[in-house]
Structure 1
């Protein structure tokens, strides 16, 4: 039996005259603020709905087995510490329900890591290290790399400072802070740039994640791109590339590592970050467009290096390491395998032996202003979650091993 349905008749197009069209689409500068206000209001609503029932981000909680894994001991050893009296004064967590299972906060878990885990601590008298995350193309997982690396290193017992230099303030947003409504100019690096402060200590604030502090960003950081060249034009002895480095230096006794998220451009702030950094990590997705963009990054970086040597002949700058990180790897894309080989042949030993996959875990976490480390319990496939988490864990492990090696070499 065939059922005939009445087809909808196409509606005639509404004719709009040129004059009417012009009136509908006109947008004077004065109305841009209306769009900005609506966007800011919507972002507040979105964040609060994503983070409900809490208006702020909360760190994850851990089971006894998870705490044991973080400390590199077995579950039985952890239970022994919990049941026996010892001089470690370890947090006992909170009993869940009527059973004997326990739940530990991040701060409690980090106390266990500090007192039980076999990780070497930074020697006295040895300063922390600075790592810049850079790429001149947006959307390559630069900010996510900065945040997950900080979180991963904190689970090795490190005290981490993250610094947001991107006026878009995405790293700041990942900590649950909205730049346009909650960050004033004096909370950013601007007072240092303008010469009003000599150290960045004034800008440091705590975050929801125990062991990670933040220097936030806001759109006001665009001002640095005008001030620094202006200052240089007025004072030929002014080292525009060294402002950030001097501001970070007093903090290196407090923090094991400072991780700097840079703007997706060769800006004056990016130059400052690169010149301050001891190490550089360049996230590079294995796609043809991102690969092409990465060659431009290195060409511009090379031009910058040559220009810096001409501007300051006595400048002695050496990176402790430079890494290319394969990020946002989508195995389902046919081009991924080809471009991966291009990247490996081009950058050889600079390419890290890990790949950060694109998964439903990373996509859903990003949509909720978070990372894989923010998830206490993943409701989807455990295998998918572990694949995403293991990549970031391995990145943190490699970087932590390099930090330890550098601290040891410095001590000797």
Structure 2
């Protein structure tokens, strides 16, 4: 029996058009617009690139004074940057900033200049999963900005996109469904096909234009995972489907300091794997009653899921080094939101991050330009707006970084002041 997929007489589709074709055409149209945006932002190379950091900003990242950095440049062994204006004003790539850090650490042994985790001190790979089963919580926005902030501090970071909508992948300048096959995504780790499946994450890693920040991309094909994993489980009764990602992480343990996982907005095989692979769970929650109600269901679902999986693992319960809640999309002038945040603080106490990520026009502007906030220059938006948004982002991300230090048992004396 053949299914009739033609439009009914009262359909909103144009007469004679195939509804399925319309969806396909619209999908391709969105891809075409996305390519145009990337081309405009990346002209003339048609590939996104990270801006140069002026001397003052580069010095701030390295944690030295601007005059100290200028003095270092008198030694030609240090990266010299690029002249970007009059009076010999210079700009530095992130790779040059990291090179200066490394050279200073080699010369002085000062822990302030260390790039990445200290393996000899037992600092383990930090896996941060950013999860919320409701869309619109700014989950992807913060995943990307957290990964980029950590890269700016010199850590080697891997961003894993587990959402088939591939928003995080797109923010790094890729056109996911055009540039990648589903075998380029985590699908290849989970696939039912034994001949295609791998257990090593390294073949999936894509370099980005951020020094020290790589990505495992996603695309629409990743969604096939949700259909193939249950069939694979039926065929392989011994398969612990919830630990497929966690079991693959040792293959890249020596390559990265921190992994950031961006989850789909649903309880899925992929999101369960991301939660089970994490040692740090970060949940962004907008301060509205609807989002707060959804967050309650999220925690209930996580509780029930982990309880069920604990039974499957002989009573061994999944543990985390840290679980933190982040107030996202905070409207500072909204008294109702302010009250809700106060209640959250009194109830959740130590698990609620002190800093909140406020809604800013600068963050919206960055999104419209298909850039992250860290890729903007102050001249792209109003300077006061830019600095206020940057302060919110940096404060939140620095607090998350300090949680990572606590996990690593890194003390301020070892790390120096930030």
Q: TM-score, normalised to structure 2's length?
A: 0.87
Q: Tell me which residue corresponds to 1:143.
A: 140
Q: Tell me which residue corresponds to 2:73.
A: 82
Residue 171 of structure 1 pairs with residue 160 of structure 2: no
The 2-side partners of 1:27 and 1:339 are apart by 48
Which deviations, in whole Å up to 9, do the C-alpha atoms of 1:374-400 show, x marking residues without a partner?
013334332322221122222332333
**Per the alignment, in what secondary structure is the counterpart of residue 282 of structure 1?**
strand
Residue 222 of structure 1 pairs with residue 223 of structure 2: yes
Measured after TM superposition, the shift of residue 21 of structure 1 is: 6.4
The size of the alignment, in residue pairs, is 389
The 1-side partners of 2:202 and 2:10 are apart by 56
Measured after TM superposition, the shift of residue 119 of structure 1 is: 4.6
Q: Tell me which residue corresponds to 2:159.
A: 162
The 1-side partners of 2:211 and 2:267 are apart by 32
**Per the alignment, in what secondary structure is the counterpart of residue 392 of structure 2?**
helix
The 8 Å contact of residues 151 and 212 in structure 2, kept in 1 or not, is answered as: yes
The 1-side partners of 2:301 and 2:14 are apart by 43
Q: Closer, same or farther in 2 for the Cα pair 1:347/1:93, shift >3 Å?
A: same
**Per the alignment, in what secondary structure is the counterpart of residue 357 of structure 2?**
strand
Measured after TM superposition, the shift of residue 53 of structure 1 is: 4.7
Query: Aligned match of 1:189 in 183, 186, 191?
Result: 186
Q: Tell me which residue corresponds to 2:327.
A: 326
The 2-side partners of 1:19 and 1:199 are apart by 52
The 2-side partners of 1:279 and 1:302 are apart by 16
Q: Tell me which residue corresponds to 2:119.
A: 124
> 1:230-379 counterparts in 2 under 5 A?
230-379=231-380
The 8 Å contact of residues 129 and 278 in structure 2, kept in 1 or not, is answered as: yes
- TM-align CA RMSD: 2.2
The 2-side partners of 1:156 and 1:96 are apart by 23
The 8 Å contact of residues 365 and 372 in structure 1, kept in 2 or not, is answered as: yes
The 2-side partners of 1:405 and 1:352 are apart by 14
Query: Aligned match of 2:96 in 88, 91, 108?
Result: 108
Unaligned runs of 5+ in 1: 1-17
Q: Tell me which residue corresponds to 2:4.
A: none
Structure number with greater Rg is 1
Which deviations, in whole Å up to 9, do the C-alpha atoms of 1:314-333 show, x marking residues without a partner?
43421010110111111233
Q: Closer, same or farther in 2 for the Cα pair 1:54/1:22, shift >3 Å?
A: closer
Residue 99 of structure 1 pairs with residue 90 of structure 2: no
The 2-side partners of 1:279 and 1:369 are apart by 28
Query: Does 93-102 or 30-39 show the bigger shift?
Result: 30-39
The 8 Å contact of residues 288 and 335 in structure 1, kept in 2 or not, is answered as: no
Measured after TM superposition, the shift of residue 239 of structure 1 is: 0.1
Query: Does 135-144 or 304-313 show the bigger shift?
Result: 304-313
Query: Does 163-172 or 360-369 show the bigger shift?
Result: 360-369
The 1-side partners of 2:217 and 2:283 are apart by 21
Query: Does 21-30 or 187-196 show the bigger shift?
Result: 21-30
The 2-side partners of 1:46 and 1:381 are apart by 22
The 8 Å contact of residues 282 and 325 in structure 1, kept in 2 or not, is answered as: yes
The 8 Å contact of residues 129 and 403 in structure 1, kept in 2 or not, is answered as: yes
The 1-side partners of 2:316 and 2:333 are apart by 46
Which deviations, in whole Å up to 9, do the C-alpha atoms of 1:252-309 show, x marking residues without a partner?
1110001100000010100000000110111111122211111111111111111111
